[in-house]
A and B are shown apart, each in its own frame.
Chain A
C-alpha cells in the first residue's frame, strides 16, 4: 500500500511551549484514523502540520510523498476542516463555490445533498451561522472535496445528535464508495469508534498510543465485586486502577480475558466488562500516566 502520511520526529514549538514533540507515525493507503487526546494535547497543531497550514520546528512531514506546504498540486489533494476556521465576509453559498473551484474532485451533487440534509441556508452570512451550522458547513466542504487526504478537526462542535449521526453515515457511505485517507480528531470517541480502523492518541504533544482500533476495544477489562475476590483476581495482572468502597471493589486490568479468566471471574462472583474505546483512552491519557507511551497490538 502506498504511504499517504508520514511524520518523522515532528515538533512544533511556540515560545517555550512544545505543542507537538517527537511525533512519528505513518498512514498507508485508504483508512480512517481517529486522532484522540485531551484538550490542548496537540491534535489541532498536528492536523495543521499535515495540511501545511503550520510548519514544523523540527522533523519532517510528508503527505502523498511531498511537503504539504510546498506545491499547489499537492495542496489541492488535502482538505482540512477546522473547528475554528475563519471565513471572510462570505455567504454559505460563496464558501461552497470557492471550495468547489479549489478541489479538482469536488462533488457538486454530494454538496447539494449535504446542504439540504443539514438544512444549511445558502444565502446566509457565514458569520451569522450558529456554531453547529458552521460545523455543518465545514463537514460539507470536507466530504464534497473528495480529497485523497481528508482531515477533520473536531468536525462536529455544536452539532446535535441527529446531525452527528448524519455525518457518520455520510462519511461511511462516501468512504466506502471512494476510499481515501481520513483522519478525524474528536472527543466523542464512542460515537465514532465503529468507523475507526486505527487510533492515535496524542498526549501533551507526544503519541501516547498508536494501535488498530480492533485491538484496542476490549484490550482492558473492568472487574468489580466483593473486595477480597477482586484482590485475588487482579493479583499478578497489570492493573490500571483499583478502588475499594466498603466491602466492594472495582479494578481495571489491562488484559483481554480468555475463557479460563471468565470462568474464574464467575466463580468469584465478579462482574466483568470490556472497556470501551473511550474508557481505554481515558486511562491512557490520565495525568498520572503521563509519558508512559505504549503500543498495543501493532
Chain B
C-alpha cells in the first residue's frame, strides 16, 4: 500500500497533467459553448422547449485517456528506475487514475446539479448532461462518470504498455486484434440473426446496467495491463 502511494505521489509531481489540465481543457470547452449559447440566446434561438446538448463534456474524458497514456509512456522509465516493481508501478498508477476518476466524477456531478438548478446556466444549455448515460439522478451520474473516466484511463494505460513492450508494430497489431474481435462479433451476430437481441439489450439496459458492463470491461483492461507489464523492460 505504501509503495502504491509512492507511485501515485510520483505521478502527482506532474500536477499540470493530472490535476490542472483536465479541468482547464474542460473549462475552455465550457467557455466556448457558453459563448455560442449566449449569442444564440441573444438572437432569440434556443429559447423554445427543445433541449440543446453540447456533448462537450467529452473533453475531460478524452484528456483523461491522454493522461493514462502518459502514465505508461513518458513517466514509466524513471518510475521503474525508482525502486518499484513493474506490478507496483502499474497498480499504483491504476489506483491514482481511479481515485482521481472518483473525485472528477463527483466534480462533474456537482456541476450537473448546478446546471440543472440554473436551468442550463440561464441559457438552457445541457453541457454536463448527456442523454441517457449522464442524465439520471446525481448518484448515477457520479457512478457513470467515474466508471467512464476509469475505463478510459486504464484502456490508455494498456495502449502505452503495449507500445513500450512491442513498439509500433505491436501497437498496430493490438489495435488490429480489437478490430478483428469486434468484426467477428458483428459477423457472428449477423449469421446467428442475433442483432435483434443485441438491439434489445442496448435499448432495454438501464444507464446503471450499462455502467455495470463498463465496470466489468475496466476490470478486464486492468487484468490485461497487468499481464503486459509483467515482462516489460526499460
Contact = CB atoms under 8 A, between A and B. Distances in A.
Contacts of A103: 82-83
A102 B6 contact: yes
Contact of B10 (A52, A72, A98): A98
Interface residues of A, number: 32
B82 A89 contact: no
Interface string A169-205: 0000000000000000000000000000000000000
Given A85-B77, A88-B74, A102-B83, A72 B16 contact: no
Most buried by B among A77, A82, A98, A147: A98
A90 interface: yes
B6 A89 contact: no
A53 B80 contact: yes
A82 B81 contact: yes
A282 to B, nearest CB: 31
B196 interface: no
B54 interface: no
B51 interface: no
A173 to B, nearest CB: 24
Given A72-B85, A88-B74, A53 B10 contact: no
Chain A binding surface, main DSSP class: loop
A94 B16 CA distance: 13
B159 to A, nearest CB: 17
B59 interface: no
B83 A86 contact: no
Interface residues of B, number: 25
A80 B77 CA distance: 12
Contacts of B233: 48, 53-55
A88 B78 contact: yes
A161 to B, nearest CB: 27
A1 interface: no
Contacts of B81: 51, 53, 80, 82, 85
A52 B78 CA distance: 13
Interface string A93-104: 011011101110
B85 A71 contact: yes
B78 A101 contact: no
B85 A90 contact: no
Contacts, number: 73
A26 to B, nearest CB: 23
Contacts of A15: none
B133 interface: no
A79 interface: yes
Given A95-B78, A98-B78, A101-B6, A88 B14 contact: yes
Contacts of A79: 83
Interface string B71-103: 000110111111111101000000000000000
B41 interface: no
B85 A70 contact: yes
A153 to B, nearest CB: 11
A288 B14 CA distance: 51
18 contacts: A51-B81, A52-B85, A53-B233, A55-B233, A69-B86, A72-B3, A72-B85, A75-B85, A76-B84, A82-B81, A85-B77, A87-B77, A87-B78, A88-B78, A90-B14, A90-B78, A102-B82, A102-B83
Given A69-B86, A98-B13, 11 more contacts: A48-B233, A48-B234, A54-B233, A79-B83, A80-B81, A88-B70, A99-B82, A102-B82, A103-B82, A103-B83, A147-B83
In the A-B complex, the 5 residue pairs with the smallest Cβ-Cβ separation, listed nearest first, are A76-B83, A102-B82, A86-B77, A88-B75, A75-B83
Interface of B: 3, 6, 9-10, 13-14, 16-17, 70, 74-75, 77-86, 88, 231, 233-234
Interface of A: 48, 51-55, 69-72, 75-80, 82, 85-90, 94-95, 97-99, 101-103, 147
